[in-house]
Amino acid sequence: MPKQKTHRGAAKRFRLSSRGKVKRSQACKRHILTKKPRKRKRHLNQEVLASPSDLKRIRRMLPYG
């Protein structure tokens, strides 16, 4: 059976935690940052867990994760 290919776009966006949960970075951190408070920008730096409804698709795109 041939090897499966990893979806490269998904590999750049998602990481697996040590316990196998899917982590992602948060949106709204690219531009228009001057009107956002320092606290909000600081909290946007943290990674969060991906939505449970998206996990099936993400795991299919990352077969070796």
Give 38-56 pLDDT, tens digit per residue. 999 999 999 999 999 999 9
**Which distant-in-sequence residues (6+ apart) come within 8 Å of 61 by Cβ?**
6, 7, 10, 11
What's the pLDDT score for residue 3?
A: 94
8 Å CB contact between 23 and 12: no
Domain ranges within the chain, ordered by starting residue: 8-61
- Please tell me the class of the 8-61 domain: few secondary structures
Q: What is the mean pLDDT of the chain?
A: 96
